[in-house]
Amino acid sequence: MKTKFYTLIALLAITFAGIFTAKGQTTVTNTVLMGKGYVNEVYYSMSAGEMGNVNRSLWDVAFRANRRSASILTNDGSAVELYTYPKSDTNGWATVDTSGIKNWKKMVNSTTDWETGAFCQNQKAYPDYGWGIYNGFTHNVVGDSLFVIKLRDGSLRKLWIMEKYSTDNIFEFRFAKLDNTGENTIQLDCNPYATKNFVGYSLATNVIIDFEPVPAANWDILFTKYVYTYPDGTQYPVTGVLSNYKVKVKEFELVAPDFLMLEAQVMDSTRSPIGWDWKPFSNETFTYTVTNTTAYFIQDRAGKIYKLVFTNFDGSSTGRIVFETGMNSFTGVNEVVKSGFNATVYPNPVRDVMNLVINPGKATFALVSVINISGHIVLSQRFDMQSEELASLQLPVSELPSGIYMVKIQSGGNVIARKVVVNN
């Protein structure tokens, strides 16, 4: 009889799509401090917590440390401003003239893409990278544009990104004051920083700034200040959260505190899916309002998924941000079967009575919850069971309105979720 039940479990598990398990759903309250005026930025790992709190005002430009990339950022969140020089190409280096600079377009980093730094904003179709042209024979990017950059102290520099030697992973650039004094030509070797995303440079002090506190593989999100570009082109400095390369996010609004992402979702892998607008500002009370009904599900670089909910934001007086996190990690059908825990729900659609076949694995009970599309638990029942033994159970659903529901079946530290249509 047990063999027949295992066969039924296997066949029905293949039939029903969207089977996932969530483990270890312990909620933890976290606090990060960006400091007064958001002077610092905080690198954060969803699995390990805060990885570094760094003074963000030490660098002016940052170069992508990956030899296959030509992205160059500005520290736009620290009031560094960049302008493409409109009056000449690189032949005009000696005679850069900033008259009319107020009418020049300010270049900022892409809101959505780390690979499109401020220096790359003028890029056209391949092989144009905005600041230079890719050479298919040497694989280098050769600079063809001049820039004027306004530093944090308000002083101006002219800047020429001369070449990216891709094979050697070296950027060569030249900068000077507008009167041609203080000229420097730098070859910045990115190889010592190959485990990081970017390496910074201060044009004011003429030094390399290794501002990422840990290797890129060790952090997931960044609490920082940056320039946000509205759809109409308006640019405005904001404080918020950016995502690392390979990190994905899914946002849910107006959800209950116990809401979990129980189905696979299309997730956002851009630079700022969390962003800054989770803390609306009231012009009447001059305070920020943080709602705990918005949840962000973050898939880290290791593939695990965590839930993040903001609960408090102090503003520029302290830069204090409080949020809750909990693990919401999913594994597929094969791993569920290996663990010994499995479950099947039928028929689907269901009317009046829902049938369940459950193997609780090493646990001695199963908690079955029915969740509506708003994320609220509308029905819950505990079943005492024998470990490693299959059981055929029934759950009355005649009182539920017709609609789509998620059935969450918890056994020990594991959870299986299945979508069910109720047709009463």
Pure H helices in 44-86? none
- Here the tokens at position 330 are 């999913």
Q: Report how far residue 348's alpha carbon sits from residue 371's, in angstroms, rounded to the nearest whole number.
A: 16
Amino acid at 293: T
Amino acid at 345: V
In Å, what is the CA distance from 37 to each residue of 66, 238, 258?
A: 31, 11, 34
Q: Report how far residue 357's alpha carbon sits from residue 293's, in angstroms, rounded to the nearest whole number.
A: 34
Domain that holds residue 278: 28-52+216-248+270-325
Q: Report how far residue 219's alpha carbon sits from residue 195's, in angstroms, rounded to the nearest whole number.
A: 12
**Which stretch of 41-50, 273-282, 303-312, 411-420 has the lowest confidence by average pLDDT?**
411-420
340 confidence band (pLDDT: 50, 70, 90): low
Hey, what's the torsion of the CAs at 202, 176, 188, 101, to 10 degrees? 70
Quick check: is 288 in a domain? yes
Model pLDDT for residues 9-29, shown as the tens digit of each residue: 333 333 333 333 344 456 899
Instruction: Summarize the confidence of residues 120-143 as an average pLDDT.
Output: 92
Instruction: Summarize the confidence of residues 121-125 as an average pLDDT.
Output: 87
pLDDT higher at 5 or 251: 251
Model pLDDT for residues 304-327, shown as the tens digit of each residue: 899 999 999 999 999 999 999 988
| CATH code for the domain in which residue 17 is found | 2.60.40.1930
Quick check: is 116 in a domain? yes
- The whole-chain average pLDDT of the chain stands at 87
Q: Are residues 73 and 178 in the same domain?
A: yes
pTM for the full model? 0.75
- Of 209, 226, 259, which one is at a domain's C-terminal end? 209
Tell me the helix, strand and coil percentages in the chain, rounded to 5: 10, 45, 45
Q: Are residues 278 and 358 in the same domain?
A: no
- Here the tokens at position 185 are 């030509």
Quick check: is 255 in a domain? no
Looking at 166-319, which runs of residues are DSSP E strands? 170-176, 184-189, 198-202, 207-209, 221-229, 235-243, 248-252, 281-282, 287-288, 295-299, 305-313
